[in-house]
Amino acid sequence: LDASGALVQRGIADGSMHRSSLVLRSSRKLLSPSLPPPHLLPSTLRLPLSTGALRSLSTQHFKASNTVHPLLPQKQYLAMEREMADKTGRQQNHIWSKDELDSALATFSDKHVPETLSDKVMHGFMYYGLYHPFNFITGYTHHDPSPSSLVWRLIVLESFAGVPGFVAAGMRHFHSLRALERDYGWIHTLLEEAENERMHLLTCLSMFQAGPVTRLMCIGAQFSMTPFLMMIYVVNPKAMHRFVGYLEQTACETYHNVISHLETPGTRLHAEWSGLPAPEIAKGYWKLPDDATWLDTLRCIYADESHHRDVNHTFASMASDDPNPFVHMHKEDAARAWKLEQAQRLLREHRHGSSASST
């Protein structure tokens, strides 16, 4: 038990850095290409960005700010070719700690203000062409929403949310093959996003049944929006990432509102959902404890959506051939998930051994 307890504590400590934090150098001396890659540097030289710094990065290209890109420009990226070729844990989801969940929930009102013409077009299309009509169709209201209006809303939302990441990853994959050029690590983050959204969908489906109308809406959304997103990515990749950033903003608004009402006695959501346990798929995916609730699951889903919001607004502010600043986080997530899995395994073995000895 002591060993497993120590392992749990060590795993949490090693993975305490927020998923959207970035690795920074503390001086220009640290920019020397002869130094080891960032994840091998001493912990004193790896500084996580604050939430405010992350928000500034998500709306401003690093070349126009005082923030150093964590993977540096292309030449330094290529100098780390062996490290970048290691695909370990590139699609591992982040396992959220309680402090990280609380920090993420505090950012629900963070919104990107449209600046360029394409930003304004994507913002208008998202909010007035999709968000408000979707609220009307599903019967969703911000004040005391009904569980029935949310069931098919969440299923349709997550069914569609898994499309853009896969479209963007596919388009960048084909461009890399066609142009005989590197992708600079974007594909991994985009594929992880698409898989993460698909897991959100499967989690919702493990709790609720999708009726014929819901299934029809999912099919219609996929068949209509996939060609639209592909066309946008061919013409203006930044516009599609900005669109996804706005999409994730609405998802954060929805999930935060659901969580708030679920935690408030007297609301319809509290009456019907407050006692629901977390589904088994959620316990495995986010490494939740056995007594986790549906509320715990929704908090994790919200945190994922807030990360997608920040990632896509960041991508929309970068050039398409800039190195992906989120690559190292996938490895950190994989290491943290493995440690937590080993800790849970040791704890189960200890409990099983104690139970067997007592009998």
Closest CA to 250 of 50, 108, 57: 108
Please give the share of the chain, as a percent, with pLDDT higher than 90.
Answer: 60
Angle between helices 2-14 and 327-358 (to 10 degrees): 160
pLDDT, residue 73, reads: 65
pLDDT, residue 92, reads: 86
* Tally of CA atoms within 13 A in the half-sphere of 346 that contains its CB: 14
pLDDT tens readout for residues 238-270? 999 999 999 999 999 999 999 999 999 999 999
Q: Quote the CA–CA distance of 7 and 43 in Å, as a whole number.
A: 19
Q: Is the pLDDT of residue 56 over 90?
A: no
Q: Is the pLDDT of residue 290 over 70?
A: yes
Query: What average pLDDT is seen over the chain?
Result: 81
Global pTM reads 0.76
| CB-based contacts of 146, cutoff 8 Å, min separation 6 | 139, 268
Q: Is the pLDDT of residue 27 over 50?
A: no
pLDDT, residue 72, reads: 59
pLDDT tens readout for residues 312-338? 999 999 999 999 999 888 888 888 888
- pLDDT confidence bin for 342, thresholds 50/70/90: confident
Structure token pair of residue 210: 């999708």
